Every structure is written in structure tokens, then in C-alpha cells.
Amino acid sequence: MRFFILTAVHFLIFLCSCAAIWLIWKQFKKWQFKNQPFPTEWNEILNTNLPIYSKLPQPLRQQLDHKVKYFIRDKTFYGCDGLVVTDEIRVTIAGQACLLLLNRPTNHYYKLHHILVYPSSFVASRSEQNESGVVSHKRTGMLGESWSQGKVILSWDDVIKGANNFSDGQNVVLHEFAHQLDQESGSTNGAPLLGTQSSYQSWAKVLSKEFETLQRQTNSGYGSLIDQYGATNPAEFFAVVTETFFERPVQLRHRHPELFEEMKLFYAVDPTEWVD
């Protein structure tokens, strides 16, 4: 009996030792990854494909590098329609997606797991129901999609186009990853996680007013700084305004000052400081 007790004790000691070694090894690997230098090749990709990168203040560039490393480690990329996923694709997408995370306590899009990349625009099937209840099926060309099931789909041609031209207010990565932030609240409704009740009140007041203004402009045929696709619904409005905030911040601040301030508070950066 004593032999069996001693054996059981020794076995428990052995298991505890193994667990301790595993925890130490895990912490070492985390430390090792955290302290790995940002690859020179990745830095070259960002400088070439994302011109705004070189305009960021040094602390923000370092922060972006850090977030890009973790993003690429934690997310799985898939090439579609024969596209071979390369470091250029991963880094160019991650660099833009992580712009939305700067200066913010984040979990690196914790609900997102898979990023599917097509060579160019892709076709998606949609079911629509009219007022009479008749359901029709349509096939629509898409530049990107954001799914609540942990998936983002992107067109590589449009990813690189949006990265290279960072002043036209059109950026598919910023748009789809704004949807991911929106979805973290549990629903895609244009109200991401903000923190305090007063923040939600101010957000709702300003964005509702601006959304209604854009709808009136769209219905009346007037032009607008904010892409009129944002008049579709509040979720699309938030995503479109995100594009405008990062790519045309000076114009947004001048023409929509309250909206600019709300976005500045949420994203915790001021992109007007990055423009020439």
C-alpha cells in the first residue's frame, strides 16, 4: 500500500514538474517572439505598398510594426482562385488593418480568424426579398466582405490600390476591418464598443445626424465628401466614415467637425498630423 502511495506522489511531482517546464517554455516563447526584430523585408513592403507608413511618427510606426507581427502570427490567410499568399499580401493587409488599432487597448480583432484573398473582385450570391415577399437571387461583384463568423474576404487588386492611393477616401481594408470592430459589440449596427454610457450618447447623437444628412444628400442627388454608399445603413456609414477619417482627415475635420472628433476619440489618433 505504501509503495502505491509513494508511486502516486512521485507521479504527481513528475506531472507538476512537466507543467512547470511547459509554462516556463511557453513564457520564453512569448518573450522570444515579442523581442524578435521586425523583419527588414516587411519594413520594405510597408514603405513600398503603404506610403502613409513613412509619414507616421516614429512611436506609431513602432507600434504598428508590433501589431502587424501579432496579426500575422494569429490570423490565417488563404489564397482563392489560384492566388498564392505571400509575405507581401500578408504584410500589406495587416499594415492597413492595424492602423485601426493604434493607441487603443485592443485584442487584435479577437473574433477574426481567417482572411480569404482573391486576385481581383469576386462574385457573391445574395438573396433579396421585396415588399411583396418575393425572394430573388443575385450575383454581385465584390471588393471585400466582413463576416461575423470570424472571416474577412478581400480582393488583392483592390487592397493594393487602396494602400497606394491613401487620399481618395476609398480603402477596402479599412472598410472591412471597421466592420470587424463594429461586430465586436455583438451586432453590426454602426456602434462599436465605446466604453462609457456618455460616449454612446454622444456617438449616437452625432453619427445619427450625419447619417441622416448623407441620406438626404444621396436622395437629392447632391455630392458629398463621405461616400454615398454610407447612406445604405448605419453599419456601412461607420465603415465609410472610417475610410474618410484616415484618408481625407483634413477635409472631414473642416466639413464635419463633430463627426471628425467622434472618430478621433474612438480611434485615438489624429490622421491630420500625417498629411503633407
Strand partners, 129: 135
| Closest by CA position to 214, among listed 194, 188, 189, 240 | 240
Walking along the chain (276 residues) 10 residues at a time, the average pLDDT comes out as 54 57 47 68 96 95 95 95 96 97 83 93 54 44 77 95 93 95 88 80 94 94 90 95 97 97 95 88
Residue 186 has phi, psi (to 5 degrees) of 105, -15
CATH no. of 185-276: 3.40.390.10
Q: Which three cell numbers stand for residue 177?
A: 476591418
| Closest by CA position to 98, among listed 85, 108, 111 | 108
Q: Which three cell numbers stand for residue 273?
A: 498630423
Tell me what pLDDT residue 149 has: 80
Tell me what pLDDT residue 131 has: 54
Tell me what pLDDT residue 10 has: 56
Give the whole-angstrom CA distance, residue 12 versus residue 4.
12
Report domain extents, the chain: 30-128+135-164, 185-276
Residue in the structure block whose three cell numbers are 477596402: 172
Beta-carbon-side half-sphere exposure of residue 164 (alpha carbons within 13 Å): 7
DSSP 33-55: HHTSPPPHHHHHHHHHH-GGGGG
Q: What single-letter amino acid sits at 1?
A: M
The CATH architecture of the domain made up of 30-128+135-164 is: Orthogonal Bundle (1.10)
Tell me what pLDDT residue 7 has: 66
Angle at 183 between CA 76 and CA 207, to 5 degrees: 135
Tell me the residue ranges of DSSP E strands in 69-181: 76-79, 114-118, 122-129, 135-142, 144-147, 151-155
Give the whole-angstrom CA distance, residue 242 versus residue 234.
12
Give the whole-angstrom CA distance, residue 59 versus residue 15.
44
Exposed, middle or buried by CB within 10 Å (0-12, 13-18, 19+), for 129? exposed
Tell me what pLDDT residue 25 has: 42
Contacts of 245 (CB under 8 A, 6+ apart): 252, 260, 263, 264, 267, 271
Tell me what pLDDT residue 179 has: 94
What is the model's pTM?
0.83
Q: Which three cell numbers stand for residue 190?
A: 454602426
* Residue 108: DSSP 8-state: S
Residue in the structure block whose three cell numbers are 481594408: 173
